Amino acid sequence: MSSPLGKEIDRFEARLKVTGRALYAADNNVTGLAYGYLVTSTIGLGTVTAMDTAAAAGSPGVLAVYTPFNPLKLFAYGGDQNDESTPPLQDTGVRYHGQVIGLVVAETFEQARDAAALVTVSYDAKPPAASFPAALPNATPIKNSPTAGVLAPGVTSIADAIAASPVTVTAMYTTAAQNHNPMEPHATVAVWTGDHLTLYTATQGTPLVVSRMSKTLGVDAAKIHVLNPFQGGAFGCKWGNWAHTPLTAAAARELGRPVKTVLTREQLFTVVGHRAFSSQIVTLGAAADGTLNAIKHDGVSSRSASANFQENAGNISLNTYASPNIEINRKTVTLDSPATTIMRAPSDATGSFALESALDELALKLGMDPLALRQKNNSTVAATSKKPFSGKHLDECYRIGAEAFGWSRRNPVPGSVVDGDWLVGMGMGTAFFSAGRGAASIKIRLRADGTAVVSGTGSDSGTGQATVYCIVGADSLGIPLKQVTADFGDSAAPVNANAGGSASTASNGTAVQVAADAVKAELLKVANEHPPFQGKNPVYERGFVKADGVSMSFGSLLTSLNMAEVEATATSPKNPDTVHQFMSFGAHFVEVRVHRRTREPRVSRVVSVMDAGRIVNAKAARNQIMGGVIMGIGAALLEDMRLEPTGRIANANLAGYLVPVNADIPELDVRFLGIPDPLISPLGARGIGELGIVGVTGAVANAVFNATGKRVRDLPITCERLQ
């Protein structure tokens, strides 16, 4: 039997999902369920002066209509970076268009929705600050570390370093706000049993919900149980604590009925956050041979007046390339918009567009190949932190990717390659994202039926994390994969990494390894106390207990001892290595075709080569990078959340907010170096969840320039911007 580690493995829950047996949050239909429907504001700023709820309250099946004038009591949030500043309905303030200002609860979903439409609201409206470009002059430095960077000895300012550089480029780049749009909308089902609360809710971390609901509902955390094993995508918008969850729980408590609230697609645009707008100025200074001497990256991102999150677009420039002089400036502009929040590679997906575009502009000015410019400034030591990178093989990504893609065939003269009606261009960009490993606990149960169950709080937002539990469990226990199942997304399990920050596999996979050792020790202890292994100090080998020529599978042994199972829980610490800079790396090579009459840009080929340590599941890992690349293509060419001057999002639906469909995406060639990184953990796996999107938008823009000679510095790159 060979280990499944690193093979192409189907998700262990795949069959459950495609047969409808995997219950997503909204699929939990409990006895006596009532249905909530959110009422949202239709002005961008001001106060609610009155709400007429009589018609709604009197319509069929309605159980309650909660408003700021008939609120459910909630306590203040805790100030987490992903929270809004105020819980819903606790005051009459309207801070953005689409803010939750009411909850209607009825016997059926349709009754709740129809009644919600009958609520009439009077406002005292004020003009909102809802234009990012108009507000840009008011940008203010973020509170902590507004500037960061490094200067070479003897250099007194970044301006001096730029002035002393023989070749410089400087330009402004902007990116559109983007919305996560997971396929599965957020939903919460709240069930009270006495003073105990069970929540089925879409979340990237069940412990996150426990701690926040404990605070805002005023309930002991030990009395809150959160379950969310299956998710249809998250991308960051299922991390924060959004209004529907505490409202649904509080309504269920007050009504003495379980309540389910599901967000509409339109509400997903305003209630659960988005990726900020950005405006960035990048200045690069280099020697004539392309050696970077200065990087200055001034990033301004939008933030919401009513939420805590702040994006830092310039962060990407701190350590991606070697340069003796680097300065980044972090500013925000406050809008009366829905919350900005984390979205796949927060800050870095945005920042890499400007940095990778600027490098392409520098390469042109130097008369240098853009790949050669990256190779020249590739480094083994992080420029700002001065820490050596752990296991960096980016040079191999560049080399293998260029070869597979045929980069040497790139014509450096823009607009010179024509294929029928299409102008063809090539561009590239570097992928770079942090690779964390946090503390994590895992429980493993060895059962009398011969199976092993690996459990932890960890969520699987569609990434394949639960299958990582199974693969590493089977590998560590030396048993066939089909004997291992995962139990996850349950706040009652040992606490491990939430689904975010590209740290799940590094953290949780390592914990599975130590838990496997612990449960083997527990099994042997039990075996040594009973016949046939009593006092014989048996050993564990590939699922069998052995001593003196006697060998029994753990299932047979437990059955003979009349024990249902043995279990052990173990914790692996956060990465003890503080000496190295832990990142994942990669290179994207992109070919685009721009129609010479319509100027429609299409991506026609992509090769992505990733250096992310050991790959645990080749299939799911490839899927993760493909997802990142597709999201990057969406950001480059299509995605554009339109905030009107009124503060209303004009395209809060999947007809007006464009995302790539299959016809927009060519075959994606994704490869991994697969070199284990023993410094991050014994498992050697680094993060891949966010890596794939970083560098893609720049690579697409650079390819568009190569195809057309037109440099588009504003995302998305639409036909209009290519005229």
**Which pair of structure tokens corresponds to residue 305?**
């007046």
- Closest distance of CB 502 from ligand MOS, Å: 6
Judged by CB, which is closer to ligand MOS: 64, or 343?
Answer: 343
- Closest distance of CB 425 from ligand MOS, Å: 30
Our finding on whether 342 is near ligand MOS (CB under 6 A) is yes
**Which pair of structure tokens corresponds to residue 325?**
């002089």
84 is catalytic: no
Judged by CB, which is closer to ligand MOS: 313, or 557?
Answer: 313
Residue 26, CA distances (Å) to 38, 66, 213, 232 in order: 15, 21, 19, 11
- Closest distance of CB 82 from ligand MOS, Å: 9
Judged by CB, which is closer to ligand MOS: 235, or 422?
Answer: 235
Judged by CB, which is closer to ligand MOS: 128, or 462?
Answer: 462
Minimal CA–CA distance to 199: which of 245, 235, 155?
245
Q: First CA to last CA across the chain, in angstroms?
A: 60
Q: Using DSSP bridges, classify how beta strands 46-52 and 452-455 pair: parallel, antiparallel or unpaired.
A: unpaired
Among 11, 260, 303, 344, binds ligand MOS (CB under 6 A): 344
Choose the stretch contacting ligand MOS; rule: CB under 6 A; options: 95-103, 120-128, 337-345, 598-606: 337-345
In 3-state terms, the chain is what percent helix, strand and coil (to 5)? 30, 30, 45
Q: Using DSSP bridges, classify how beta strands 325-335 and 62-66 pair: parallel, antiparallel or unpaired.
A: unpaired
Judged by CB, which is closer to ligand MOS: 98, or 501?
Answer: 501
- Closest distance of CB 546 from ligand MOS, Å: 44
Report the alpha-carbon distance of residue 23 to residue 716 in Å, rounded. 36
The contact mask relative to ligand MOS for 165-194 (x = CB under 6 A, - = no) is ------------------------------
Alpha helices in 58-205 (DSSP H): 109-116, 132-135, 158-163
Judged by CB, which is closer to ligand MOS: 325, or 461?
Answer: 461
Report the alpha-carbon distance of residue 645 to residue 257 in Å, rounded. 41
Judged by CB, which is closer to ligand MOS: 358, or 630?
Answer: 630
Choose the stretch contacting ligand MOS; rule: CB under 6 A; options: 8-16, 336-344, 380-388, 596-604: 336-344
* Count, residues near ligand MOS per rule CB under 6 A: 10
Choose the stretch contacting ligand MOS; rule: CB under 6 A; options: 213-221, 319-327, 339-347, 631-639: 339-347
- Closest distance of CB 632 from ligand MOS, Å: 14
Choose the stretch contacting ligand MOS; rule: CB under 6 A; options: 302-310, 342-350, 373-381, 617-625: 342-350
The contact mask relative to ligand MOS for 680-699 (x = CB under 6 A, - = no) is ----------x---------
Report the alpha-carbon distance of residue 621 to residue 624 in Å, rounded. 5
In sign, the C-alpha dihedral spanning 437, 443, 445, 446 is positive
Burial class (CB in 10 A: 0-12, 13-18, 19+), 402: buried
Judged by CB, which is closer to ligand MOS: 438, or 601?
Answer: 438
Report the alpha-carbon distance of residue 330 to residue 80 in Å, rounded. 20
- Closest distance of CB 499 from ligand MOS, Å: 7
Minimal CA–CA distance to 512: which of 452, 442, 613?
442
Which residue, judged by CB position, is nearest to ligand MOS in the bound state?
Answer: 236
Alpha helices in 583-617 (DSSP H): none
Among 139, 343, 643, 694, binds ligand MOS (CB under 6 A): 343
Choose the stretch contacting ligand MOS; rule: CB under 6 A; options: 340-348, 373-381, 569-577, 626-634: 340-348
Minimal CA–CA distance to 692: which of 610, 599, 605?
610
Choose the stretch contacting ligand MOS; rule: CB under 6 A; options: 324-332, 338-346, 510-518, 694-702: 338-346
User: Per-residue DSSP letters for 294-326?
Assistant: EEEEEEEEEEETTB-----GGGGGTTSS--SEE
Residue 150, CA distances (Å) to 181, 323, 383 in order: 38, 9, 8
- Closest distance of CB 24 from ligand MOS, Å: 18
Please identify which residue in the block is written with the tokens 């389910």: 260
Residues 6+ apart with CB under 8 A from 251: 36, 64, 66, 72, 103, 105, 190, 259
Restricting to residues 281-300, name those near ligand MOS by CB under 6 A.
none
Our finding on whether 273 is near ligand MOS (CB under 6 A) is no
Judged by CB, which is closer to ligand MOS: 186, or 605?
Answer: 186
Our finding on whether 346 is near ligand MOS (CB under 6 A) is yes
Choose the stretch contacting ligand MOS; rule: CB under 6 A; options: 341-349, 353-361, 430-438, 678-686: 341-349
Judged by CB, which is closer to ligand MOS: 509, or 538?
Answer: 509
- Closest distance of CB 342 from ligand MOS, Å: 4
Minimal CA–CA distance to 667: which of 606, 622, 624?
606
Catalytic annotation, pick one of 84, 361, 591, 690 = 690
- Closest distance of CB 613 from ligand MOS, Å: 18
Report the alpha-carbon distance of residue 101 to residue 91 in Å, rounded. 9
Restricting to residues 190-209, name those near ligand MOS by CB under 6 A.
204
- Closest distance of CB 513 from ligand MOS, Å: 23
- The helix/strand/coil state of 627 is helix
Residues 6+ apart with CB under 8 A from 49: 92, 122, 123, 124
Contact residues for ligand MOS (CB under 6 A)?
Answer: 204, 236, 239, 342-344, 346, 500-501, 690
Catalytic positions, written as ranges = 690
